[in-house]
């Protein structure tokens, strides 16, 4: 399986807060590859329908998001001076590096630093990768979903269970990752907040025939994306709450790249919502 990396222009990119912003994505007119919907705030990518090599969805310098729907083996190389989160979201996958081997079940993930030459293997396995610069030496850290602590956050109308897999206290320089699982028909990422010093990817699951609405809003406008299982949205900037239809839950893998400043879960709440009670939360003001 060959990799895909196609440049796509974004007309509003000059308004992005991150200088030197560059998007690489999937050609929406190429058969077998997912469609893209883009603005300067966010990028929506429809779920992969057929096997692919690694597809680079976004790049800003050394920060990148990639994914693949595996049907066999695919190579993956991580350069020295970089770190990566590799999350398995659908079916099991195997990651190998020489004699080293790890099996990941759905919602398990691997954190590692470069350099590394890996082989990813799976059958119908959806693999999502986040990359960032790092000064750390060789680290390989496996996080199992069934070993993560559950934090029930929010109040009625915006309740969700949050599982932080790679957080502020973990040995990553700029990457954080985890899972959010909303309650039926309720909002998550609420009260609306933003973190324009970080870029983030959501990959959705658990909607089970329903759908979600992902809002991304800033001073320049608002995008509303209809999302289904295994769609992705990359949030470049802006407030980004979401909600599920009443018969379903909006659940998603999230990977954060701290592009500016020190790694943190610090966010800024949208004016008019900042006084809403948070309940228990993994975020900080």
The answer to whether 179 touches 254, Cβ cutoff 8 Å, is yes
- pLDDT per residue over 25-62, tens digit each? 433 334 445 578 887 899 999 999 999 999 999 999 99
Exposure of 101 in the CB half-sphere (CA atoms within 13 A): 5
Handedness of CA 134, 265, 252, 58 (dihedral sign): negative
The answer to whether 163 touches 151, Cβ cutoff 8 Å, is yes
Task: Label residue 15 by pLDDT band (50, 70, 90).
Answer: very low
Q: What is the model's pLDDT at position 39?
A: 79
Mean pLDDT of the chain: 89
As a whole number of angstroms, the distance between CA 78 and CA 208 comes to 34
What percent of the chain lies above the pLDDT cut of 70? 87
Task: Label residue 20 by pLDDT band (50, 70, 90).
Answer: very low
Domains in the chain, CATH or no CATH each: 6-34+45-144 (2.60.120.10), 151-269 (2.60.120.10)
Q: What is the model's pLDDT at position 11?
A: 28
The answer to whether 153 touches 279, Cβ cutoff 8 Å, is yes
As a whole number of angstroms, the distance between CA 160 and CA 184 comes to 9
Q: Which residues pair with 74 in a beta bridge?
A: 120
């Amino acid at each position: 399986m060959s990799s895909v990396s196609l440049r796509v222009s974004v007309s509003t990119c000059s308004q992005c807060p991150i200088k030197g912003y560059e998007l690489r994505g999937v050609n929406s007119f190429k058969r077998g590859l997912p469609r893209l919907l883009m603005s300067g705030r966010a990028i929506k990518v429809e779920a992969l329908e057929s096997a692919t090599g690694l597809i680079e969805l976004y790049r800003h310098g050394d920060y990148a998001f990639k994914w693949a729907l595996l049907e066999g083996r695919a190579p993956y190389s991580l350069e020295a001076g970089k770190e990566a989160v590799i999350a398995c979201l659908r079916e099991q996958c195997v990651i190998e590096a020489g004699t080293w081997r790890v099996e990941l079940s759905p919602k398990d993930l691997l954190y590692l630093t470069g350099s590394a030459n890996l082989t990813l293997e799976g059958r119908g396995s959806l693999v999502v990768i986040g990359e960032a610069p790092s000064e750390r030496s060789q680290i390989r850290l496996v996080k199992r979903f069934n070993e993560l602590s559950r934090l029930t956050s929010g109040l009625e109308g915006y309740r969700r269970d949050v599982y932080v897999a790679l957080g502020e206290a973990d040995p990553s320089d700029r990457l954080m990752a985890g899972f959010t699982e909303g309650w039926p028909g309720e909002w998550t990422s609420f009260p609306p907040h933003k973190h324009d010093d970080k870029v983030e990817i959501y990959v959705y699951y658990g909607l089970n025939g329903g759908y979600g609405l992902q809002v991304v809003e800033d001073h320049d406008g608002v995008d509303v994306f209809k999302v289904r299982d295994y769609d992705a949205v990359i949030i470049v900037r802006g407030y980004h709450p979401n909600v599920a239809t009443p018969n379903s839950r909006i659940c998603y893998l999230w990977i954060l790249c701290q592009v500016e400043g020190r790694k943190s879960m610090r966010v800024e709440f949208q004016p008019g919502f900042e006084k809403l009670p948070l309940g228990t939360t993994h975020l900080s003001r």
